C-alpha cells in the first residue's frame, strides 16, 4: 500500500515482505494455449453428447415400457367382441385422451367385465354401447387390449425414435473417442 505516493513507510520493497507466493504477477491471467482450449471444448462437447445420449435413451425406454409390456402379454391373445360399458376421457368434449375404459367381453365362459391396459393409447371417441374387438388373454382375466395398441407404429413412435437417437449419440462419441486415442501409446 502507498500512503502518500512513496514506499518509505513500508520498507524498500513492500511486496517482498509478503513473500514470493503473494506477488501480484502470480495472479495475472495466463492465456490458455490453443491445444488446451480445443481439448476443453472437446471434453465439453463429449460431456453434453453423453448426457444427451443417456437422456434420449432413458426417455425412449420409458415411453416403450408400456407398449412392449402390452405386446408381450397380448401377442398371442385371442380377439373377442366386446361392448364398451363406460369410457372416461381427459378431454370429455372431444372424447380424446382416454383415462379409463371398461368393457363387457363376450368369452366362451360367458360375459366378463374388463378394463383396458394402458387406456391412454386406446382409440379415441368410444362411447358406452359401442361394439369393439379387443384382445383377451385368459391368463389375465379382467384386462384387455385393443389390437391397435400392439401395432409396430405404437411401439416405434415415439419411444424407439428416442432410443435410436440416444444410441446414435453414444455411438458417435465412441467413434470420436476411438479416433482420439488411436495413436496414443501407454506411458
Check residue 26 and give its pLDDT: 47
pLDDT in tens, 93-142: 777 778 888 888 877 777 888 888 778 778 888 888 999 999 888 888 88
Grid cell of 71 as nine digits: 405386446
Grid cell of 55 as nine digits: 437422456
pLDDT in tens, 48-66: 888 989 999 998 888 777 7
**CA–CA distance, 60 with 164 (Å, rounded to integer):** 8
pLDDT in tens, 129-172: 999 999 888 888 888 888 888 877 777 778 888 889 999 988 98
Nearest to 106 by CA among 67, 145, 132, 128: 132
pLDDT of 177 higher than 80: no
Host H or E run for residue 99: strand 96-107
Query: End-to-end distance of the chain based on CA atoms, in angstroms?
Result: 49
How many other C-beta atoms are found inside a 10 Å radius of the C-beta of residue 187? 3
pLDDT in tens, 10-62: 455 444 555 555 455 544 556 667 777 887 888 888 888 889 899 999 988 88
Check residue 29 and give its pLDDT: 57
**CA–CA distance, 94 with 79 (Å, rounded to integer):** 28
Amino acid at each position: 500500500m502507498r500512503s502518500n505516493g512513496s514506499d518509505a513507510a513500508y520498507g524498500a520493497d513492500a511486496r517482498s515482505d509478503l513473500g514470493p507466493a503473494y506477488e501480484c504477477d502470480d495472479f495475472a491471467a495466463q492465456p490458455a494455449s490453443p491445444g488446451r482450449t480445443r481439448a476443453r471444448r472437446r471434453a465439453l462437447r463429449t460431456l453434453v453428447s453423453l448426457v444427451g445420449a443417456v437422456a434420449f435413451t432413458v426417455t425412449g425406454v420409458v415411453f416403450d415400457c408400456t407398449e412392449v409390456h402390452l405386446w408381450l402379454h397380448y401377442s398371442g391373445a385371442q380377439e373377442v367382441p366386446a361392448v364398451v360399458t363406460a369410457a372416461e376421457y381427459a378431454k370429455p368434449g372431444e372424447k380424446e385422451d382416454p383415462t379409463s375404459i371398461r368393457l363387457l367381453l363376450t368369452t366362451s365362459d360367458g360375459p366378463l367385465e374388463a378394463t383396458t391396459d394402458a387406456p391412454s393409447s386406446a382409440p379415441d371417441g368410444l362411447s358406452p354401447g359401442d361394439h369393439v374387438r379387443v384382445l383377451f388373454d385368459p391368463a389375465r382375466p379382467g384386462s384387455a387390449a385393443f389390437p391397435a395398441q400392439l401395432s409396430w407404429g405404437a411401439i416405434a413412435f415415439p419411444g424407439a425414435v428416442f432410443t435410436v437417437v440416444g444410441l446414435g449419440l453414444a455411438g458417435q462419441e465412441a467413434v470420436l473417442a476411438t479416433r482420439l486415442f488411436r495413436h496414443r501409446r501407454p506411458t
